[in-house]
């Protein structure tokens, strides 16, 4: 970081820290109200965690703490809007902005810059509002509210889907909440740059693991969105740029809202990578539920062969045959497999039927799973189902 930027950082962070200290002490601050305390805290954290992103903003607001706070907040809003594919998406920061709490109050700008630079090198990423595959805001962290937090804040089409809130916090991107990560570091943890790096490292590491849970929980919706149109095949990927997402937003606008609503329906039954089909006993299949949903989307996009292949692949996994070849070209453990095949012939499952005639069974399986996910037969009208 160059000397001029470091000086700007010292001036502006100290200006905001003075405001924060006064608000904490319940002293009046011209232009600020007590309700601004949270915004000031976030502004300080953003400045400290990603100073390089705020050069112009700091320069324009050297003597204007209220303008600085607002400009930092506006940049955050622009970033979040740019990375939302759907208006109802919730942007998740891989590393939350308030990580370490109010540690900035007790640490010099020079110490912060030293520590953050080392953390950037250690994790090969930037923090604050940095975007893209090496940032903390990425295309694959635009979550449904269901995958983000266990709360009732879903809006728009997600709310209309009727899936409700996620009642299992352990399957969300905030599986441990936010309070632990935003707890203010102790004096020992902020004694110098070494201590600060060691104190922040586990909090960052844990959050990078948390996000994987949210991505997994949201995966049925993501796959369903991608299947709605070939131009959405790269939706919700870490490599997405703001320009990529802007282009895909145009595609989303051409898709009937009812079709998008249906993409949320698998979420309550798919958490952390496992199916939880409470009504599965009413259906002739279990593991094929989400697969048939995705296959239905493929068929809608005109990819009947791909849809059949999706079901066929899942059916083979449901049958459970070990098809690992050996030197002789036969299946391993042939006697056991032969017995399994004979039993399946006597009592064929849906999976067996799909293996035998995938495209024919696609129609039946599609009807059943669409009924299960509620009213989704309207999505399949191009198939004539």
pLDDT per position in the chain (385 positions), as tens?
A: 799 999 999 999 999 999 999 999 999 999 999 999 999 999 999 999 999 999 999 999 999 999 999 999 999 999 999 999 999 999 999 999 999 999 999 999 999 999 999 999 999 999 999 999 999 999 999 999 999 999 999 999 999 999 999 999 999 999 999 999 999 999 999 999 999 999 999 999 999 999 999 999 999 999 999 999 999 999 999 999 999 999 999 999 999 999 999 999 999 876 555 444 333 333 333 334 444 444 454 444 444 444 444 444 444 333 333 333 333 333 333 444 444 444 545 555 444 444 445 445 444 444 444 443 444 333 333 333 3
Rounded-to-integer distance, Cα 314 and Cα 251, Å: 29
Cα 270-271-276 angle, rounded to 5 deg: 55
What is d(CA 156, CA 86) in angstroms, rounded to the nearest whole number? Answer: 10
Which residues make Cβ contacts (< 8 Å) with residue 174, sequence separation at least 6?
A: 92, 148, 149, 150, 210, 214
In this structure, the chain runs to a length of 385
- Contact criterion met (CB below 8 Å) for 80 and 42: no
**Strand duo 270-271 + 142-143: pairing:** unpaired
Specify burial of residue 167 (Cβ count, 10 A radius: 0-12, 13-18, 19+). exposed
Strands 142-143 and 90-91: antiparallel
DSSP-derived 3-state class of residue 303 = coil
Beta strands in 218-303 (DSSP E): 270-271, 274-275
> How far apart (Å, rounded) are the C-alpha atoms in residues 96 and 383?
45
Q: How far apart are CA 239 and CA 246, in angstroms?
A: 14
Burial class (CB in 10 A: 0-12, 13-18, 19+), 96: buried
Bridge-partner residues for 275, per DSSP?
Answer: 270
What is the helix (H) or strand (E) element at residue 269, kind and residue range? none
* Residue 91: strand, helix, or coil: strand
Selection from 118, 119, 136 nearest residue 127 by Cα: 136
Domain residue ranges of the chain, discontinuous segments joined by +: 1-81, 83-256, 277-383
Identify any residues that bridge with 142 across adjacent strands, giving them in sequence order.
91
- Report yes or no: 46 and 76 within 8 Å, Cβ to Cβ: yes
User: What's this model's pTM, rounded to 2 decimal places?
Assistant: 0.71
Distances from the Cα of 175 to the Cα of 37, 150, 163, 179, 221, angstroms: 26, 8, 19, 11, 19
CA–CA dist 157, 117 (Å, integer): 41
């Amino acid at each position: 970081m160059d000397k001029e930027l470091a000086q700007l950082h010292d001036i502006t962070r100290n200006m905001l820290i003075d405001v924060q200290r006064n608000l904490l002490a319940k002293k009046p601050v011209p232009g600020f109200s007590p309700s601004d305390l949270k915004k000031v805290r976030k502004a300080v954290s953003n400045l400290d965690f990603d100073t390089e992103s705020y050069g112009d903003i700091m320069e324009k607001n050297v003597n204007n703490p209220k303008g600085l706070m607002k400009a930092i907040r506006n940049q955050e809003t622009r970033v979040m809007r740019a990375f939302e594919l759907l208006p109802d998406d919730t942007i998740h920061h891989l590393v939350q902005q308030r990580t370490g709490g109010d540690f900035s109050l007790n640490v010099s700008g020079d110490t912060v810059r030293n520590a953050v630079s080392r953390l950037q090198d250690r994790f090969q990423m930037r923090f604050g509002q940095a975007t893209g595959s090496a940032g903390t805001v990425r295309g694959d962290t635009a979550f449904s509210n269901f995958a983000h937090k266990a709360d009732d804040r879903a809006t728009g089409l997600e709310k209309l889907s009727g899936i409700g809130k996620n009642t299992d916090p352990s399957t969300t991107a905030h599986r441990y909440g936010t309070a632990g990560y935003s707890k203010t570091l102790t004096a020992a943890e902020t004694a110098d740059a070494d201590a600060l790096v060691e104190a922040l490292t586990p909090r960052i590491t844990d959050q990078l693991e948390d996000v994987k849970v949210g991505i997994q929980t949201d995966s049925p919706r993501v796959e369903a969105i991608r299947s709605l149109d070939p131009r959405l095949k790269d939706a919700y990927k870490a490599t997405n740029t703001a320009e990529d997402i802007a282009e895909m937003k145009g595609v989303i606008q051409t898709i009937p809202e009812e079709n998008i609503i249906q993409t949320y329906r698998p979420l309550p039954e798919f958490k952390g990578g496992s199916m939880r089909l409470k009504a599965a006993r009413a259906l002739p299949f279990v593991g094929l539920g989400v697969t048939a949903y995705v296959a239905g989307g493929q068929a809608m996009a005109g990819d009947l062969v791909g849809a059949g292949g999706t079901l066929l692949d899942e059916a083979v996994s449901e049958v459970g045959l070990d098809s690992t070849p050996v030197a002789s070209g036969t299946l391993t453990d042939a006697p056991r497999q032969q017995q399994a095949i004979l039993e399946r012939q006597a009592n064929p499952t849906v999976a067996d039927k799909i293996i035998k005639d995938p495209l024919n069974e696609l129609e039946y399986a599609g009807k059943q799973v669409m009924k299960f996910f509620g009213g989704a037969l309207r999505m399949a009208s191009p198939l004539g189902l």
